[in-house]
Structure 1
Amino acid sequence: MVGNKLAAGEVLQRVLATLKDERGVQVENVATALGALSGRACHLAARDGRASRRPEYAGRDDLQVGTSDGRTFVMGPAISWPLLESPHSVWSLVAGYAQSQGAPLPDVHELVRHSAATVGGPEFGRPRYAPRTAPTALPIDHLGAWEPMLAHIVPLAPDPQQWPVVYGLAVQGLFQMTGGQFDLTVLTRVVMDSALATSKIPVAS
């Protein structure tokens, strides 16, 4: 885990620096960005796991789902493994830290249902913030940072199976930085709404 933790620290500092403006950093926006990149990490981990026939992906396939507007999304058990189910999944790391701080957890089944139900619609990929707050950018807007960020991750965590762990740990670092000043239940929902959305967006080979 040493490489993962070092990469997570690098990711968090770079995301914070990128999103900082004259007013500082909006924590919800950082949570959205990290969640979005977590989803992309899970998508690629699943693709790698199936291609390399890793045992934890045995019998786990993903499905392509087309929408009426001609878009295609990917979802299924393979992506769910690094995102929701493995011992070091994004959900395990993010929710585990929030729970350790006494925060009630959002219902993970509701998060999954909401993401699936909104695919192809206007609410897809819109993280649910606290009342009277709104994202300055949607999860999909943060995906342009994937390749630049990956260049800093690979020297420390080269295996694609490590990438979801790196981002889960980066979210933990963000939560720790808030020092109890933010509702971790809401931030967990923002991270997972973002991750669930971007995990479904296909990546060109």
Structure 2
Amino acid sequence: MDIAKLQKGADAVLERLVNAMRGGSGEIHPQSLVCAVGSLAGYACQKDVRVMFMKKNHLTEDQVFTVMTDKQGRKLFFGDLLNEPLVNEKLSVWSMIGGAVKKRGGTLPDVNDIFRYISYTAGGEQFGRPRACQVGESMTDYLGRLWLPLAEVAKQYAEDGELHIVFGIALQKAVFTAGGSMNVTEAARIAMESAVSMSKVDYNSIHVN
């Protein structure tokens, strides 16, 4: 694993995203940036699991994930393998968020509460909408609009199974930046709620506007 290369990839992704999200004033709403990068980091976890276990080991979707279906017929993915890059690995999305919070001298949000909230809202109207967060688009909107172009950027720096690290490092930078203008614990909670929710979606069910 080439950490320096992965960090360069995160910088490239974040630069591309920031340029795309700048408003007419040239400023970016910190919550919007955290939500957007969080959504991408979360889905990258699912994508990496698919590559490492389905593509390389030829396992089926049902063997890799616990698959649920919501009232609209959309699939949602859960399971221990998905939680590894999200929270358990040394370079998990959660550990990256924690690094930003620590650097700001803040307190980590309750990750168990975040998972409970996502499980409770999964498939409902509030799914993909972090609590107490005002942003211009939903998490699925961000994912549908940004994943394909930014994943292509990240793939230039990441080996198989490393996309979540590239996007996790980018999220760490976004949370740290947001912590300069808002409570960093809140920024971290919003980031992780975005990541956990979008780690579970079926990308094929997202309609890109």
TM over 0.5: yes
Q: CA deviation at 1:179?
A: 6.5
| Separation in 1, partners of 2:43, 2:175 | 20
Farther off after superposition, 93-102 or 109-118: 93-102
Give the number of equivalent residue pairs: 195
> What TM-score, normalized by structure 2, do the two folds share?
0.87
Q: Superposition pairs for residues 27-38 of structure 1, below 5 Å? A: 27-38=30-41
SS in 1 for 2:149: helix
User: Please, which runs of 5 or more residues in structure 1 have no aligned partner?
Assistant: 54-59
From 7, 15, 18, the counterpart of 1:16 = 18
| Separation in 1, partners of 2:85, 2:135 | 25
Farther off after superposition, 64-73 or 183-192: 64-73
Runs of 4+ aligned residues of structure 1 deviating over 6 Å after TM superposition are: none
Q: Give the aligned partner of residue 180 of structure 1.
A: 180
Q: Give the aligned partner of residue 126 of structure 1.
A: 129
Q: Give the aligned partner of residue 56 of structure 1.
A: none
SS in 1 for 2:137: coil
Q: Give the aligned partner of residue 194 of structure 2.
A: 194
Q: Give the aligned partner of residue 94 of structure 1.
A: 97
| Separation in 1, partners of 2:175, 2:100 | 8
Q: Give the aligned partner of residue 156 of structure 2.
A: 155
Q: Give the aligned partner of residue 57 of structure 1.
A: none
Q: Give the aligned partner of residue 68 of structure 2.
A: 65
Q: Superposition pairs for residues 107-122 of structure 1, below 5 Å? A: 107-122=110-125
Q: CA deviation at 1:68?
A: 2.5
Alignment-mate amino acid for residue 64 of structure 1 = V
Q: Structure 1 residues 174, 118: CA separation in 2 closer, same or farther (over 3 Å shift)?
A: same
Once the two structures are superposed, residues 52-90 of structure 1 have per-residue CA deviations (whole angstroms, 9 ceiling, x without a partner) of 24xxxxxx8311101233222111111111111111000
SS in 2 for 1:170: helix
> What TM-score, normalized by structure 1, do the two folds share?
0.88
Q: Is the 8 A contact 2:41 2:167 kept in 1?
A: yes
SS in 1 for 2:64: coil
Q: CA deviation at 1:178?
A: 4.3
SS in 2 for 1:84: helix
Aligned-pair Cα RMSD in Å: 1.8
Alignment-mate amino acid for residue 162 of structure 1 = E
User: Please, which runs of 5 or more residues in structure 2 have no aligned partner?
Assistant: 58-62, 205-209
From 70, 77, 80, the counterpart of 2:80 = 77
| Separation in 1, partners of 2:122, 2:106 | 28
**Residue 171 in 1 paired to residue 171 in 2?**
yes
SS in 2 for 1:182: coil
Q: CA deviation at 1:136?
A: 0.8
Q: Give the aligned partner of residue 60 of structure 2.
A: none
Q: Give the aligned partner of residue 136 of structure 2.
A: 136
Alignment-mate amino acid for residue 153 of structure 1 = A
Q: Structure 1 residues 195, 179: CA separation in 2 closer, same or farther (over 3 Å shift)?
A: closer
| Separation in 2, partners of 1:179, 1:196 | 20
| Separation in 2, partners of 1:196, 1:170 | 16
Alignment-mate amino acid for residue 149 of structure 2 = P
Alignment-mate amino acid for residue 138 of structure 1 = S
Q: CA deviation at 1:101?
A: 2.1
